[in-house]
Amino acid sequence: MCLQNGDTIRTVDRLITDFRFELVEDHHSHGSGRYGVRVMLPGDISAAFPYLNTMLEDTWYDHENRILIGTGNNRRYAFRPHEIRVAVIADPSKVSYVVGEVVDLVNRVWEERGHITPSFGRSKLPAVYDIFKLLPRTNCKQCGYPSCLAFAADLHSDPELLEQCPSLSQVEWTANREQITALFSPD
């Protein structure tokens, strides 16, 4: 690009300009080959949370404690002022791509915040224990988790995992499956 006298340069209003990241093992399934990513940020990004809360799906937002959990780009995110966590990275070789995707998401929402109505509301996710009570509680490990409680903890933030429980696809568990699905339905 060649600039001439009188040219103006538009600087993009980026909230995240620097970061580090690491691949982390799923704390619910040690040794399972399930990973997530942790993005560490030197700057505080919590000013973007009300805008992200508007733009993301299936959110839980605690404005006072500056925590936002939500889904976007078919991924589950947890945002804190100096950290972003992305759940379940199926292919560890794609970590750089996933990190770029979430950083771009935050920066894009921040840049467009003038056109977004911020939301300070809390869309409540179901409690882990409420989900757990409806699971078979056999700890069969067929879902890939070491226990039904560990499965409920991840299901709490990713309802699509429901398909991983083979017991819930059996006729005798139909009512429980429907009740779990209803926990995620908006009131």
The stretch 64-78 carries a mean pLDDT of: 88
100 compared with 126, residue with greater pLDDT: 100
pLDDT tens, residue by residue, 20-55: 999 987 655 556 667 889 999 999 999 999 999 888
pLDDT at 166: 93
To the nearest whole percent, how much of the chain has pLDDT over 70? 86
Instruction: Find out if CATH 1.10.15.40 is the number for domain 128-183.
Output: yes
* Cβ neighbours for 39, distance < 8 A, ≥ 6 positions apart: 19, 20, 21, 83, 84, 85, 86, 99, 102, 103
Please provide the CATH number assigned to the domain covering 20-115: 3.30.310
Sign of CA dihedral 44, 50, 53, 59: positive
Taking the C-alpha atoms of residue 95 and residue 22, their distance in angstroms, rounded to an integer, is 8
pLDDT tens, residue by residue, 76-117: 899 999 999 998 887 888 999 999 999 999 999 999 999 999
Kindly report the pTM of this predicted structure: 0.62
Q: Domains of the chain: which residue ranges?
A: 20-115, 128-183
**Mean pLDDT, rounded, of the chain:** 84
